[in-house]
Amino acid sequence: MIAQLTKSERQLALIILLALTICGLAMAIAGRQDPLGVHGAIVMLAGIAGIFGVIYVYYEPEPDEARLALYYDDPTKVAIILAMIWAVLGMFIGDWVAWQLVFPNLTFDASWSSFGRIRPAHTSAVIFGFGGNALIGTSLYVLQRTSRARLPDQISPWFVLLGYNLFCVLAATGYLMGVTQSKEYAEPEWYADLLLVIVWVVYFIIYLRTLARRKEPHIYVANWYYMAFILVVAILHTVNNLAMPVSFGHAKSYSAFSGVQDAMTQWWYGHNAVAFFLTAGFLGMMYYYLPVRAGRPIYSYRMSIISFWGITFMYMWAGSHHLHYTALPQWVQTLGMTFSVMLLVPSWASAGNALLTLNGAWYKVRDDATLRFMMVAAVFYGLTTFEGSFMAIRSVNSLSHYTDWTVGHVHAGALGWVAMITFGSIYASVPWLWKRERMYSPALVEWHFWLAVAGLFTYVFAMWNSGIIQGLMWRTYNDSGTLSYSFIETVVAMKPYYVARAIGGLLFLAGAVVGSYNIWMTIRTAGQPVDARAADLPVTQPAGVPALQPGE
Amino acid sequence: MEHETTVWFAKSFGLFYLIAMSIGVVVYAYWPKNKTSFDSAAQSILDPSVEDKPYEAKRWQ
């Protein structure tokens, strides 16, 4: 794979890796009294490992010109494998956290395994590790196909992919050592944030350079979503992480914001991370893989444009609904609430567009588990955005906020929408990428689908019940006007739901393990008998049905 | 800038530019002339005659 690089690209790779090693060494020396030193060592080791990898193939013959007539898919392949590794790891940690809430002794009396440290390790591993790698991989795939142009060079995609994964490793290991800036979904400290800024700018440049050479004058809508994802995440990440380190030798930094401004900046970031990382990016995935897998054009291309601009402009203002009943001015809260309710329009336009694309092809959804993953994703996208708009209303929020309902809502989105569309897209693209006729075992795809659906429903129903009971118990007063339940009584009432939630998570994790095995076996085994795997092909059109046009 | 001024600006200018933008987007999406390029874009990802290869005329490097 590294041998695909030309001589000059190998030299450039060595220079970048050498610079990385020196940065790591400097961090390790300056931060030797601090967790920063450990991260310096990790960065340095990553750099050295990369240098060895490049030197190993340095004198191999250069790749021939024929490669330029093909798409450059090696980074996408590696990204998909990394995404599945992060998925299993992140979901395992998540289920462990879930069991800790049932059996608190599962911390095993260590500081690194306490709830407060492994919970962000779970969220970062699944959102950034699994989701981020899947987005990088699929975006490079979709970008090349829709532009009909090869990636501009062979170094920058690797820089983005491997640099991004180094960021994820620094994030996860940092939490276990207690390194955090205490901003939800933006926990990594300043040096990791700087790395991500550089990586992200290069990612955006790859996109622009490839689009500049596209064949079609019109840019396919999936790319709009992917670009909004890249551009806005860069803005959010930079502003929310403005901070002053204690010194260059310390991991600790202090935010540029304080008080309610800090809270508002954080939730402007936090909700737009949901909007642009977990929504726009995955909508990009959906607008490419769902029509292709179903063999039908998107129902309404116009509607996809309108919902694109609706989502990009309205989400920006919704973050303040995380701060109802706080020191934030009332009108700013109301603004966030109003925009959240309005967001239902573009959100349902997207969900409806996806389902209407499938309308008339339900036999394909029935027979093809890969397409079924995408269908469930569209349904849960619609459900979760409805629920989100509803929960943003101040009076609803007074019941739901700080309860497990929020956790249920997030997982309806993360498991039902993000993970489902990702698994569907991965199952669609793995046979294309590795030039296999189909997945190794269509039966295992079915297993994964049903494990994921069972886990998803168990999880969200447990948390919906738990959250509403919790919220109601917190606001129940007795005749003398004091609270009826002590806090610990509400915790005891949660326990059965926590057990159910942990079981749901376990089912979902089991599905991801089955999926990883299936993907691995698809990559490993070439030339299998055709009939055994035939069910995993996209279902073809029955004879006599005319070719489909967009729905208008 | 005073808090009151900021609030006034956000509530007036913010309202009008968002309305203008919404109208602009709808006009763009429903402009009759754009329909052909939208339809061909929707079909472009499904075209079975297209090989899974980059467009030759603009080969990179």
Please indicate whether, in this complex, the C-beta atoms of A215 and B42 are within 8 angstroms of each other: no
Domain coverage including residue A210: 71-526
Whether the pLDDT of residue A209 is over 90: the answer is yes
Q: Give me the pLDDT at residue A539, please.
A: 55
Residue of A nearest to B43 (CA): A297
Q: Give me the pLDDT at residue A537, please.
A: 52
Task: State both tokens at A389.
Answer: 């708009």
Instruction: State the nearest Cα–Cα gap between A265 and chain B, in angstroms.
Output: 17
Same structural domain, A116 and A9:
no
Whether the pLDDT of residue A513 is over 80: the answer is yes
Residue of A nearest to B44 (CA): A146
Q: Give me the pLDDT at residue B56, please.
A: 66
Q: What average pLDDT does range A459-486 have in this prediction? A: 96
Q: Is residue B54 part of a domain?
A: no
**Could you say which of B11, B22, B38 has the minimum Cβ distance to residue A301?**
B38
Task: State both tokens at A458.
Answer: 């168990």
Same structural domain, A398 and A497:
yes
A341-379 burial code (b ≥16 CB/10 A, e <16): bbbbebbbbbbbbbbbbbeebeebbeebbbbbbbbbbbb
Query: Percent of chain A having pLDDT more than 70?
Result: 95
**Cα angle: A214, vertex A208, A5; to 5 degrees:** 85
Mean pLDDT (chain A, rounded): 94
A108: exposed, middle or buried (Cβ count in 10 Å: 0-12, 13-18, 19+):
exposed
- A70 touching B (Cβ < 8 Å): yes
DSSP-H helix ranges across chain B: 3-30, 35-44
Are A261 and A321 a contacting pair, CB within 8 Å? Answer: no
Q: Give me the pLDDT at residue B1, please.
A: 74
Q: What average pLDDT does range B22-44 have in this prediction? A: 94
Residue of A nearest to B6 (CA): A332
Q: How many CB atoms lie within 10 A of CB B52?
A: 12
The Cα A234–Cα A188 span in angstroms is: 15
Whether the pLDDT of residue B61 is over 70: the answer is no
A53: exposed, middle or buried (Cβ count in 10 Å: 0-12, 13-18, 19+):
middle
Q: Of the candidates A245, A250, A176, A199, which has an alpha carbon nearest to the alpha carbon of residue A27?
A: A250
Backbone angles phi, psi at A244, to 5 degrees: -115, 115
Same structural domain, A21 and A122:
no
Q: Is residue A393 part of a domain?
A: yes
Instruction: State the nearest Cα–Cα gap between A5 and chain B, in angstroms.
Output: 13
The pLDDT confidence band at residue A534, using thresholds 50, 70 and 90, is very low
Residues in contact with A64: Cβ distance below 8 Å, sequence separation at least 6, in sequence order: none
Please indicate whether, in this complex, the C-beta atoms of A301 and B26 are within 8 angstroms of each other: no
Same structural domain, A66 and A76:
no
Same structural domain, A122 and A53:
no
Q: Give me the pLDDT at residue A311, please.
A: 94
The pLDDT confidence band at residue A255, using thresholds 50, 70 and 90, is very high
Q: Give me the pLDDT at residue A528, please.
A: 57
Please indicate whether, in this complex, the C-beta atoms of B52 and A144 are within 8 angstroms of each other: no
Please indicate whether, in this complex, the C-beta atoms of B37 and A217 are within 8 angstroms of each other: yes
The pLDDT confidence band at residue A535, using thresholds 50, 70 and 90, is very low
Same structural domain, A268 and A348:
yes
Task: State both tokens at A509.
Answer: 């994790």
Whether the pLDDT of residue A231 is over 70: the answer is yes
Q: Is residue A316 part of a domain?
A: yes
Q: Give me the pLDDT at residue A102, please.
A: 96
Please indicate whether, in this complex, the C-beta atoms of A220 and B44 are within 8 angstroms of each other: yes
**Could you say which of A70, A291, A310 has the minimum Cβ distance to residue B46?**
A291
Whether the pLDDT of residue A203 is over 70: the answer is yes
- B23 touching A (Cβ < 8 Å): no
Provide Rg for chain B, Cα atoms: 22
Same structural domain, A30 and A83:
no
- B56 touching A (Cβ < 8 Å): yes
**Could you say which of A291, A295, A305 has the minimum Cβ distance to residue B29?**
A305
Whether the pLDDT of residue B51 is over 70: the answer is yes
- A71 touching B (Cβ < 8 Å): yes
Q: Of the candidates A45, A56, A52, A57, which has an alpha carbon nearest to the alpha carbon of residue A21?
A: A45
The 10s digit of each residue's pLDDT in A243-252 is 999 999 999 9
Domain coverage including residue B13: 1-44
Q: Is residue B8 part of a domain?
A: yes
Same structural domain, A246 and A351:
yes
The pLDDT confidence band at residue A533, using thresholds 50, 70 and 90, is very low
Q: Give me the pLDDT at residue A194, please.
A: 97
The pLDDT confidence band at residue B15, using thresholds 50, 70 and 90, is confident
Task: For residue A477, give the CATH number of its domain.
Answer: 1.20.210.10
Q: Give me the pLDDT at residue A532, please.
A: 40
- A477 touching B (Cβ < 8 Å): no
The Cα A530–Cα A438 span in angstroms is: 9
- B26 touching A (Cβ < 8 Å): yes
Report the domain count for chain B.
Answer: 1
Q: How many CB atoms lie within 10 A of CB A292?
A: 19
β-sheet bridge partners, residue A477: A483
- A217 touching B (Cβ < 8 Å): yes
Whether the pLDDT of residue A388 is over 60: the answer is yes
The pLDDT confidence band at residue A112, using thresholds 50, 70 and 90, is very high
Q: Is residue B37 part of a domain?
A: yes
Q: Give me the pLDDT at residue A11, please.
A: 96
Q: Is residue A457 part of a domain?
A: yes
- B43 touching A (Cβ < 8 Å): yes
Same structural domain, A81 and A55:
no
- A141 touching B (Cβ < 8 Å): no
Q: Which of A65, A138, A145 to mutate to test the interface with B (most CBs of B within 10 A)?
A: A145
Please indicate whether, in this complex, the C-beta atoms of B43 and A297 are within 8 angstroms of each other: yes
- B60 touching A (Cβ < 8 Å): yes
Q: Where are the beta strands (DSSP E) in A246-338?
A: 253-255
The Cα A195–Cα A229 span in angstroms is: 18
Q: Is residue A125 part of a domain?
A: yes
Q: Is residue A47 part of a domain?
A: yes
Q: What average pLDDT does range A108-118 have in this prediction? A: 95
The Cα A383–Cα A391 span in angstroms is: 12
Least confident interval from A7-16, A62-71, A454-463:
A62-71
Whole-angstrom CA distances from A17 to A44, A155, A194 are 9, 12, 17
Task: State both tokens at A225.
Answer: 């979503």
pLDDT, greater one: A64 or A411: A411
Same structural domain, A86 and A30:
no
Q: Which of B11, B16, B22, B43 to mutate to test the interface with A (most CBs of A within 10 A)?
A: B43
Q: Is residue B53 part of a domain?
A: no
The Cα A285–Cα A430 span in angstroms is: 14
- A145 touching B (Cβ < 8 Å): yes
Please indicate whether, in this complex, the C-beta atoms of A288 and B45 are within 8 angstroms of each other: yes
- B6 touching A (Cβ < 8 Å): no
Q: Is residue B61 part of a domain?
A: no
Interface contacts (A, B; CB < 8 Å): 93
Q: Is residue A442 part of a domain?
A: yes
Residues in contact with A402: Cβ distance below 8 Å, sequence separation at least 6, in sequence order: none
Instruction: State the nearest Cα–Cα gap between B3 and chain A, in angstroms.
Output: 11
Please indicate whether, in this complex, the C-beta atoms of B58 and A292 are within 8 angstroms of each other: no
Q: Give me the pLDDT at residue A527, please.
A: 65
Same structural domain, A33 and A176:
no
The Cα A140–Cα A157 span in angstroms is: 8
- B20 touching A (Cβ < 8 Å): no
Q: How many CB atoms lie within 10 A of CB B36?
A: 10
Side-chain half-sphere exposure of B43, counting CA atoms within 13 A: 14
The pLDDT confidence band at residue B47, using thresholds 50, 70 and 90, is confident
Residues 293-312 of A with CB under 8 A from B: 295-298, 301-303, 305-306, 309-310
Chain B contacts of A213, Cβ < 8 Å?
58, 60
**Could you say which of A152, A335, A432 has the minimum Cβ distance to residue B60?**
A152
Same structural domain, A315 and A445:
yes
Q: Give me the pLDDT at residue A391, please.
A: 97
Residue of A nearest to B23 (CA): A306
The pLDDT confidence band at residue A550, using thresholds 50, 70 and 90, is low
Q: Is residue A48 part of a domain?
A: yes
Q: Is residue A540 part of a domain?
A: no
Instruction: State the nearest Cα–Cα gap between A544 and chain B, in angstroms.
Output: 18
The 10s digit of each residue's pLDDT in A20-68 is 999 999 999 999 999 999 999 999 999 999 999 999 999 999 998 888 8
pLDDT, greater one: A548 or A161: A161
Report the domain count for chain A.
Answer: 2
Taking the model in full, what pTM does it have? 0.93
Q: What average pLDDT does range B10-21 have in this prediction? A: 87
ipTM of the complex: 0.89
Please indicate whether, in this complex, the C-beta atoms of B59 and A69 are within 8 angstroms of each other: yes
- B61 touching A (Cβ < 8 Å): yes
Whether the pLDDT of residue A226 is over 90: the answer is yes
Task: State both tokens at A218.
Answer: 């019109």
- B37 touching A (Cβ < 8 Å): yes
Q: Is residue B59 part of a domain?
A: no
Q: Is residue B56 part of a domain?
A: no
